[in-house]
Amino acid sequence: MRESGVVARAKKAFRPRTTTPGQAAAPNLIKELQPSAPDQVWVSDITYVATFEGWLYLAVILDLFSRRVVGWKLGQTLESELVVTALSNALVLRQPQAGLYFHSDRGSQYSSQAVRKPLSVIGAEQSMSAAGNCYENATMEAFFSTLKTECFPDNQLFSTRVQARREIFQYIELYYNNQRLHSALGYQSPRDYETKFERVIDIEPNQAQGLDAATEDRALRGRTSSAGVALQTAGVAAYGRPTAPRPAPAGASPKRKIPGGSGDGVTRFLR
């Protein structure tokens, strides 16, 4: 090639862009907050899932208190409906009190009216990271890093979309939420951490569902007739008493607790 004066054609770097110039962005409202109970702060983001059949896109909503995945959606487009469905799925399982902080980056999906409207319906405060600052949504970045290390193939490429759906479903619903231990939670799983926390919530039995192109949606059926009902009824408190705060790193400014996390006439719920 050198003798013939031939050079390889360079491949352009893949830089996905999900923001649109001029979109309204919310300020970061959780920078100095430390959740003291479930359903006080939810964080969310979208990641790309590569398969030999094409891309999939995964939107995840995480409870910052317990690191539990409360809602997610795997789809074939990056439309705002991806986040709307993940949010609807979360509201099927959870009933956050008005005042919930919903934090994300400044992606076009999160700044769209399709997402802002249901958040306003449940009385949630929208929060966003600074432009280009992934550290302000570090918990979600850490989750995706863990997911891709422990669930994805070594080459980060699934053979088929069906395989990707099956593996991601099993990782989140069977392993991550129920079995995976977190050092930040005192080496407990998210479910165990929440179960030991005092709270009031009505939980209906889980029902096994088949795996298909809408597995994560079908797994939620039987608990409510529709996500629309959850949007209308959201606002019922699901708080308990705060756990002891973790010590702040040396030199770090102390975070303020979110009001409403300690006993407001709350009874115990133990599994």
Tens of pLDDT, residues 63-101? 999 999 999 999 999 999 999 999 999 999 999 999 999
The answer on pLDDT for 132 being more than 80 is: no
As a whole number of angstroms, the distance between CA 207 and CA 194 comes to 20
Give burial (CB, 10 Å; 0-12/13-18/19+) of 197: buried
Q: How far apart are CA 52 and CA 43, in angstroms?
A: 30
Instruction: Tell which CATH classification among 3.40.50.150, 3.30.420.10, 3.40.50.2000, 3.40.630.10 matches the domain 33-239.
Output: 3.30.420.10
Domain ranges of the chain: 33-239
CA distance 130 to 136: 7
- Give the pLDDT of residue 55: 96
Q: What is the pTM of this model?
A: 0.69
